[in-house]
Structure 1
Amino acid sequence: MTEQQRPEKKETSCCSGSPSIPDKPSSCCYTSTQPNPKPEGIPSCCEGSSSICEHHEITQQTIEIRVQGMDCPSCAKTIEKSIVQLPGVAEVQVHYSAGKMRIKGDAPNQDVILRQLKRLGFTGIWPEAEQPNTQTFYVEGMDCGSCAQSIEKHLRVLPWVDTVNVHFSTGKMHLVHSGTTAAIQQEVAKVGYRATPRHTSVSKSPKISSHLLWVGGAGLLMLLGFISDLAGLLPLAGPVFFSLAILVGGYKPAKSAFFAVKNRSLDMNVLMVGAAIGAAFIGEWSEGALVVWLFAVGNWLQTQSIERTRTSIRELMELAPAEAWVSSSSGWIRQNVESIAIGQRIMVKPGEKIPLDGIVLEGTTSVNQAPITGESIPVDKMPGNEVYAGTVNESGAVEIEVTRLEADTTLAKIIRLVEEAQEKQAPTQDLVDRFARVYTPIVFILALLTMVLPPLFGGDWRDWLYRGVELLVIACPCALVISTPVAIVSAIGNAAKNGVLIKGGAFLEITGKLTAIAFDKTGTLTEGKPQVTRILTAEGVDEADLLSVASGIEEGSRHPIAQAITHEVDQRNIGPKQGTSHRAWVGKGAQATINEEVYYVGNEKMFEGLRVALNDWQTPLKEWQEIGYTPVLVGTDQQILGLIAISDSVRTTSRQTVQQLKAVGIQKVVMLTGDQPGTAHHIGSEADVDEVFAGLLPEEKMEKVQEIQRQGHKLGMVGDGMNDAPALAQADLGIAMGGAGTDTAMETADIVLMADNLEKLPSMIRLSRKALLIIKQNIAFSIAVKLLALLLIVPNWLTLWMAVLSDTGAALLVILNSMRLLRDRK
C-alpha cells in the first residue's frame, strides 16, 4: 500500500494497545477514508473486519454549546474557522440565529474551546453548565411602557433566555435563563438601557453624567447652528452643526430604535428617529435638531422623575443592617446577617437598627417600629416580646434570640409583597394598555397615508411629509400609558412606608370605591383581651381577698376569663391564695380547696347547681349582662362572696375611626360578631357603628356580607386575617389587622394593617381615592393633549417641536402629578 493509500488513523486512549475487540463497539477508535478491508497498522481489535471499523463514528462526540455575543452571520464564520483548528475537533457548525455551536470530534477539550471563544470576543456555555438561573434586574432608563416591550422582545429571541418579564412601573426585569449576568447586561445595553442585578447597589451618577454630556453636547451644537444662521456665516455651517446635533443627541434613541424595529416593536424611539430623518429629508435641519434635543431633555427628565417613584420602596431594603453582634465562644463578634442561623443570640445596642426578627431574652428598651407598622410612638420591649428587623432600638441594650432567617423576616416579606403588588396591573391600566395597542398603529398608518396620498393627487409633498412626521410624533401615547402605573406605584409605596400593605393596583382601586365597611368585634373594634372591669363584693368581703381567692382557683388555667382575673391580680400586686384539689366544671367554672374549704368561681348555672341563693345578686347580674359584661360569681356552696365583671374593652381609636370613615364618604358601618346580643350592642354603641349583627356563625356572617352587597354597596371586611374566612373572602375587599408577625394575615388578605392601628383605615381610603382622582386627571390630560395636537395639524398650526414638546411635556407632567402621592402624609 502506498503512502497515499494508507488510511487516516486517529488513536485515543480507549484502544491504544488493545489486544482484542473491546466489549463495547464504540471503543474501536480507528477510522479511514479508504475502503481497504485490511489496512496496515490496524491492531487486532479491527482485524477480520470487512471494512474499516464502522463503529468509530460512534466514538466521536457531538457536543452542542451555546454562544453569546454573536450579532451577525460573519461572527459564526469566524468562530467556525477558529474552533475547527483546535485539537480533538473534527467538525464545527455555528448557527447564528439559534446562538448555538455544534462540535464533532474525539473528546474536545472544554477549557481550550471556551478560552478560544473568549479570545474571539464571545462567551460559550458548556452543556453541563447550563443551569436555569432565575434573576431579577433593575433596568435604568425606561420612560414608557414601550421601552419595556422592546427589551422583552429583544431578550425573548435569545435561545438561552427561557422567560423574561419587564415591568416599566417598577423598573424591574425578571428572567429565567442559562446565560451569565454579564451577558444579560450586555444584551440590555444593546437596546439602550442599563441592567443592574438585584441586591447590587444601583449607582446612578455615571449614567446621569454621561446622559447629560450627550444632551449638553447636542444642545451646544444646536446653539452654534442657530448662531451660524443668524450671523449669516458659511451657507453650510448651520446645517452641519444641526446635523451633528442630531447625531449626538439622537445616538441613544437611534440605537434603541434599531433594536425595536428588529424586534417588530413600535416605540417612541422609532417614531422620534423617523421624525428626525423626515425633518432632515425635507431640509428642516434646525427643526430636526430641536426635535432630537427636546426629546433627549424630556427623556432625561422623565427618567429621573420616574426613578424617584421606583426607588421609594427600595429604601426599605436599606433599613436592616448587613451585620450584627453575635454571641460566640470567644465573645461578641460581628457577623454577616445572611450567615446567622435561627436560635443564635444577637445583641443590639442603643441607637442601632435591629438586624433580624427575634424574641428579647435580656434587657428592656423602647423600639421605633414605624418602618414596619407605621406606629409613630416607640413601643416598650422586655424579655419575651417580639422585635422586627429594620426597627430601631432607641434606649437600652438588648439580647435577642433570632427566630427568622434574613430572607424570611417580616421586613423581607413586606418588601417582597409590595414589589409584587407594584407589578400587578390595575383594571384601569389594562384598559389603557389595550387602547394604546390600537391607537399607536392606527395613527402610524394615518401618518404614512398622509405622507403618500395627498402628493399623489397634486399636494405639496414637502408640506404633507411634514404633517406626516408630526403625526409620527403624536402616534406614541407615552403619557397615557404611564398615567396609571406611576400613580399606583407611588400610592402603594407611600402606604407601605406608613404600615399599610396594599396587595396590588386592583385592590387600590377597590379601596377607593368602598361605600360600606364591616368590622369583626373581637380584636378589631375591641382590644381582644378580656379584663376585669368592675367588682362587687358581699358585706364584709374585701376586693383584694375576693380576687386572691378567684386567682387561686383559676391559677394555671388558659381560659380568657381566668387569664383576665390573674392579670388583674398581678396588676394590683396581690398574691393568689394557694389552692389544692383543682377541678374544672365544663361550661360552668372551676373549684379548688383553699384553707381546707372549697371555693367556686363560675357562672349562674354552677351556683344554681350548688343550690346557692342568688336573689340578692339578680339585679347586678341582669344589668351587667345587658351592657355587655360577662359576670363571674365567686363563693362557696353556702354563699356568694362577690361578683367580678369581665369585658373586652373597646379600642380607644374605634369610635374616632368610625367617625372618620363616615367623614371620608363611607355610607354604612356595621359590626358582625358571634358574641351575645347584649355585649355586641354595647360595643357597637360605644364604637358608633350604624348596625350590629350578633350571634352569627361564620356562614351567617358571609350571608350578611352578601345581603349588604345586594343593597348596592362595595364592602370592605375588617378582621384578623384568620377568623371569619368566609366573610373576608365574600367581601369586595379583605382587610387584616396586625399583620406584623402574622404570616397568614400577610399572605391571605387583600390589604394588611401591619399594626393594630385601626386609625390607618380612613387614611388608606383617602389615599386610594386621591390615587383614583390623579389617575383620572392623568388620563384626561393625556388624551386632551393628543386631541389638541391632532386638531392643530389640520390648519397646519402645529410645528414639529411643538409636537415633541406636547408628548414629552405631557409625560413629565403626568409623572410629577403622580408623585404627589409619594408626598401625601395624611
Structure 2
Amino acid sequence: MVTLAVAAVLLVAGLVVEWTIHSEPVALALFCGAILIGGVYPLRSAIRAVRHKRLTITVLLVVAAIGAIALGVIEEAAMLVVIFSLGEAMEAYATDKARGSISALMEIAPPTANRLNDDGATETVAVEELHPGDVVLVRPGERLPTDGAVIHGASWVDASPVTGESVPVEVTAGTEVFGGSLNGNGVLRIRVTKEYYDTVLARVIEQVEEAQANRSGAERFADKFGAVYTPAMFALAVAVALVLPLLGFEWREAIYRALVVLVVSCSCALIISVPVSVVTAIARGARDGILIKGGIYLERLADIKAVAFDKTGTLTRGRPDLAQVTPLDGISEDEALTLAAAVESESEHPIATAIVAGARDRALTIPAVQDARALPGAGMEATLDGRTLHIGRPTDEDRTDGTAGPALAHAEAEGCTAVVLRDDTRPLAVVAVADQLRPDAESTLAELRDLGVERVLMLTGDNATVARSTAQALGLDDYRAELLPEDKSAAIRELREKHGVIAMVGDGVNDAPAMANADLAIAMGAASTDVALETADVALLADELDRLPAAIRLSRRARKNIKINIALSLTVVAILIVAALAGWMSLTTGLLLNEGSAALIILNGLRMLRPGRGETRRAQVDFGTRQGSDLNSGRPCAPGSTTGGHSVAAGSSYDQREHGR
C-alpha cells in the first residue's frame, strides 16, 4: 500500500506537469518512477504466478504494462500499474477473512491451580500437571482451573461462559463443575475428574481450531473467475499478435492491437466490480452497528436458510428478574415481597439480587434484619422483629403443602425458579424469578420468516422445561436443551444437512464451537465474550437482535449490486474487445473507456452507502409502565407474559432439584 501510494502520487504529479507546464522529460521521469515503484509488487506477484504455472489478472497487467513501455506509451503504462494495482488491493482488502485468534479461550481458565497435598499444604502448579484424583483449592472470586467434582465447601458458581446456564448455580459436595467457571463467595475443594486436554473448555478450543481450519480454504472471486477468464484473454491477445501478420497486417500494428486487447480485457471495472460493492456494504453495515468480517460472509448472509439461536444473553437478557409473588396464608403481596427482600438483602446471590430489585421497583421499604446467615444449598435465614424468617429451596413439606404446593408446581411448570418464604411454622409466599426475553426477540423472528428463513430454532444449555417455555413463547420451529458446547456443534452439523445454509447466533464461549461449525457465525456484540466475537463472521455491535434481519437485507442488496456490476463490466469488456479486434480504438482510448466503465462501477457500488429499506429500522418496543402494584402482581411466569410491562421468559437454568436453592 505504501509503494502504491507513492506511485499514485508520482502518476498524478506527472499528469499535472504534462498538462500545465508541458514538460515532457519531467513528466516522463515521473511516469517511469510510478512504474518502477508501483510495479514492484505486481511484478513479484506475476512472477510467482508464472512459476506456479498460473495466469492471473496480475500477469495480464504486467504483460500489458511491459508492452506499453516497449511501444513508448509510458503514461498509459504508469496508469495501468497504479489503477490496476489499486483494484487488486481493494479486492484483497475486501475479501480478507479477518479471522481473530482464539487466544481469549485460553485465558478463561487460569494457567495455574492450587493443588492440595496429602499434608494439607497447597502448591501452585500448571493446570496441565493436574491429573484425575488431584484435589484443588478454589477461593472466592477465582475461576475453576479444570473439570471436577466438589468434595468440600458450598458456593454459587457462574458457569455461563462454558455451559450457557443463565443463572449461577449453588454447588455443594458432589456437584460437578467445569473449568473456566467463576466461583462465588465460598471456598471450594474440587477433586479433578479429567485430564486437562479432555476438559470441556479444552474441547471447545480444539473444535474452534478445527472448524476454522476447515473453513479457511474459501477462494476469492477474482481467483475463481480468473482461472478461466485470464488464460482465455491472454490466449486471445497472443492469437491477435500472431495471426494478424499472416493476414497482411504489420507486426507493430498486430502487437499494438494485442496490447489493446490485453488492456481492455484486464478490466479495472471487472477487477473491482465485486470488492467495491463489498467494501461499501461493509461500511454501511458498520454505520448501523453490524460488523461483517469479509465479503464471503456478506454473501453467505444472503443465503441463510436456517438460524439457530443460543438462549441466554441472545434471545433473553441473560439475568434473572422478579417474575411473580404468590402470597400465602392471608398476607398481602407487598408484605410478602417486603419480607423476602429483607431476608435476601444480606445475600449476593443473583436470585436474591432479583428479589431485592423487584421490591425496590415497587418502592417498598426494606427493613433491616438481624442475624442474617447463608444456609449452603438451602437459602438465607434472618431475624426480623423477633421472628425467624427463611427463604430458599422448596422442601418436600412445601411441595405437599395445600397452598404452597400448587403455586410451586405452576411456577416450575412455566420454567421459573421458585423459592419459598416461610417462618418457623408455615410457608408465607412463593417467589418466582425468570430470565426475560429481549424486547425485540419476537419481532426479529417474525422478520426472519418474512425474509424467507425456513427454520428458526434454539440450542441451549438450559434445562428442557426452560427451553420448552421459551420456544413456545417465541413460536420457534424447534429447540434442543441441556447441550454442552460439543453437543451444540454436533447439532449444527446435523441441522446443516437437513436445512442447508445455517447461521448460529450466540454470545459466549459455550457457543464458540457451534458458531465455528455453522456456515455463518453471528455474535451479539455488547454481551459477547471475546472468543465469541473472534469466532464470529458477523457481530451485531449494537447488541440489538433486530440488526440480524437488517444484516440479511443489506447482504441481499449487496448481492444484487454485485450482479449488476459484474453484468455491466462484462458487457463493457465484450464491446471493448470487439472494438479492439476491429482496430477501432487506440491503446489510450481503450484505457479511457475501460476506466470510464470502472467509474460507473464505483458509482454503482457507492450506492450501497445509502441505507436500504428496513436496514436502519429499530424495533419499536412498548415497555409499558411500571406503576405501583401492577409490577409482579400475581402474573404468570410464562414466557411472553408481562409483568409490569416487561416481556418475561422462562429463563432460569437453575435446577433446584439438583442444585438446592
Q: Distance in 2 between matches of 1:769 and 1:641?
A: 57
CA–CA distance in 2 between the matches of 1:613 and 1:813?
77
- Asked if structure 1 preserves the Cα contact closer than 8 Å seen for 2:508 and 2:528, the reply is no
Per-residue deviation, 1:766: 2.0
Offset at residue 654 of structure 1 (A): 0.7
Matches within 5 A, 1:122-271: 138=2, 140-141=4-5, 189=6, 192-193=7-8, 207=9, 214-215=14-15, 218=18, 247=28, 251=32, 254-255=35-36, 266=59, 268=61, 271=64
Q: Which residue number in structure 1 is paired with residue 430 of structure 2?
A: 643
Letter in 2 for 1:805: L
**Conserved 8 A contact 1:436-1:477:** no
- 1:331-346 superposed matches below 5 A: none
- Pairing partner for 2:354 from 553, 564, 567: 564
The structure 1 residue matched to 2:522, chosen from 731, 735, 747, is 735
> What residue in structure 2 maps to residue 773 of structure 1?
560
How does the TM-score come out when normalised to structure 2?
Answer: 0.62
- The Cα shift of 1:582 comes to 2.2
Q: Is the Cα contact below 8 Å between 1:607 and 1:637 reproduced in 2? A: no
Matches within 5 A, 1:252-331: 254-255=35-36, 266=59, 268=61, 271-272=64-65, 274-275=67-68, 278=71, 292=76
Preserved contact between residue 322 and residue 355 of structure 2 (Cα < 8 Å): yes
Aligned mates of 1:257, 1:444 — CA distance in 2: 22
In 2, the alpha carbon distance for the partners of 1:250 and 1:561 equals 73
TM-score, reference length from structure 1: 0.51
Q: Contact 1:500 / 1:751 at 8 angstroms: preserved in 2?
A: yes
Residues 516 and 535 in structure 2, CA contact (< 8 A), matched pair in contact too? no
Q: What residue in structure 2 maps to residue 661 of structure 1?
A: 448
Could you tell me whether the CA contact under 8 Å between 2:3 and 2:37 is conserved in 1?
A: no
Q: Against the structure 1 CA distance between its residues 790 and 692, is the aligned structure 2 distance closer, same or farther, given a 3 Å change threshold?
A: same
Q: Provide closer, same or farther for how the CA distance between residues 661 and 302 of structure 1 changes in structure 2, counting only shifts above 3 A.
A: farther
- Match 1:535 to one of 315, 320, 325: 325
Q: Deviations over 1:251-307 (max 9, x none)?
A: 5665558758976664647625634764x7xxxxxxx79x949x9599789979999
Give the aligned length.
481
Report the Cα distance in structure 1 between the residues aligned to 2:521 and 2:84, rounded to whole angstroms. Answer: 39
Residue 727 of structure 1: how far off its partner (Å)? 2.8
Query: For 1:633 and 1:640, how far apart are their aligned partners in 2?
Result: 7
Give 1:658 deviation, angstroms: 1.1
Equivalent residue number for residue 408 of structure 2: 621
The CA deviation string for residues 632-681 of structure 1, in whole angstroms up to 9 with x for no partner, is 22112422212222121211111111112222222111122333444333
Residue 805 (str. 1) matches residue 596 (str. 2) = no
Correspondences of 1:25-104 after superposition (within 5 Å): none
Q: With a CA cutoff of 8 Å and minimum separation of 6, indicate the structure with the bigger relative contact order.
A: 2
Provide structure 1 residue ranges, at least 5 long, that are not aligned to the other structure.
Answer: 1-136, 142-188, 194-206, 223-240, 281-287, 312-423
* Equivalent residue in structure 1 for 2:384, among 567, 572, 594: 594
Following superposition, the deviation at residue 573 of structure 1 comes to 4.3
Question: Who is 2:260 aligned against?
Answer: 470
1:799 deviation in Å?
A: 5.0
Tell me how far apart the structure 2 counterparts of residues 635 and 696 of structure 1 sit (CA, whole Å): 35
Larger radius of gyration: 1
CA distance in 2, matches of 1:260, 1:613: 80
2:362 matches 1:575: no
1:480 deviation in Å?
2.6
1:523 maps to: 313
Partner Cα separation in structure 2 for residue 214 and residue 437 of structure 1: 35
Matched residue type, 1:274: G
Identity within the alignment, % = 32
Any idea what the Cα deviations from partners look like across 1:331-384, whole Å, max 9, x if unmatched?
A: xxxxxxxxxxxxxxxxxxxxxxxxxxxxxxxxxxxxxxxxxxxxxxxxxxxxxx
CA contact (8 A) 2:391 2:420 kept: yes
Question: Could you tell me whether the CA contact under 8 Å between 1:774 and 1:818 is conserved in 2?
Answer: yes
Secondary structure at the aligned position of 2:318 is classed as: coil
SS across alignment from 2:284: helix
Q: Root-mean-square deviation (CA), in Å?
A: 4.2
**Corresponding residue of 1:513:** 303
* 1:711 positional shift: 0.5
- Does residue 417 of structure 2 align to residue 630 of structure 1? yes
Establish whether residue 551 from structure 1 lines up as the match of residue 341 from structure 2. yes
Q: Secondary structure at the match of 1:632?
A: strand
Paired residue for 1:788, among 564, 575, 600?
Answer: 575
Q: Which runs of 5+ in 2 are unaligned?
A: 48-58, 95-214, 616-661
How far is 1:218 from its partner?
4.3
Change (3 A) 1:637 1:731: farther
Q: 1:528 to 1:259 in 2, by over 3 A?
A: closer
The CA deviation at 1:217 is: 5.4
The DSSP-based 3-state class of the residue aligned with 1:724 is helix
SS of 2:437's partner is: coil
User: C-alpha offsets along residues 770-814 of structure 1, whole Å, 9 cap, x if unaligned?
Assistant: 333333333333333323333344554455454223422233333
**Cα deviation 1:659-708 (Å, max 9, x = unaligned):** 12222222111122333444333323333322233344444433432331
CA distance in 2 between partners of 1:681 and 1:139 (Å): 59
Corresponding residue for 2:290?
Answer: 500
Q: 2:281 aligns with which of 461, 469, 491?
A: 491
Q: CA 1:606/1:599 → structure 2, altered by over 3 Å: closer, same or farther?
A: farther
Cα 1:139/1:570, change in 2 over 3 Å: farther
Tell me the distance in 2 between the aligned counterparts of 1:139 and 1:767. Answer: 34
Q: How far did residue 764 of structure 1 move? A: 1.7
> Following the alignment from structure 1 to structure 2, what is the Cα–Cα distance between the partners of residues 740 and 701?
20
* Aligned partner of residue 499 in structure 2, secondary structure: coil
CA distance in 1 between counterparts of 2:505 and 2:532 reads 11
1:710 — aligned with what? 497
Q: Distance in 1 between matches of 2:572 and 2:521?
A: 38
Matched, 1:818 2:605: yes
**Would you say the 8 A contact 2:522–2:539 is kept in 1?**
yes
- Alpha-carbon spacing, 1:701–1:637, altered in 2? closer, same or farther (3 Å): farther
1:387 corresponds to which residue?
none
C-alpha distance in structure 2 between counterparts of 1:553 and 1:767, whole Å? 52
In the alignment, is the contact (CA less than 8 A) between 2:489 and 2:514 conserved in 1? Answer: yes
Q: Distance in 1 between matches of 2:216 and 2:570?
A: 20
Q: CA deviation at 1:475?
A: 4.3
Counterpart of 1:574, as a letter, is T
Alignment correspondent of 1:760: 547
- Contact kept? 1:621, 1:631, Cα under 8 Å: yes
CA distance in 1, matches of 2:229, 2:478: 49
In 1, distance between residues paired with 2:606 and 2:528? 31
Cα distance in 1, alignment partners of residues 552 and 86 from structure 2: 30
User: Which has the larger displacement, 492-501 or 707-716?
Assistant: 492-501
Give the distance between the partners of 1:747 and 1:427, measured in 2 at CA: 18
Change (3 A) 1:661 1:556: same
CA deviation string 1:467-498 (max 9, x = no partner) = 32322323424333333333333333333343
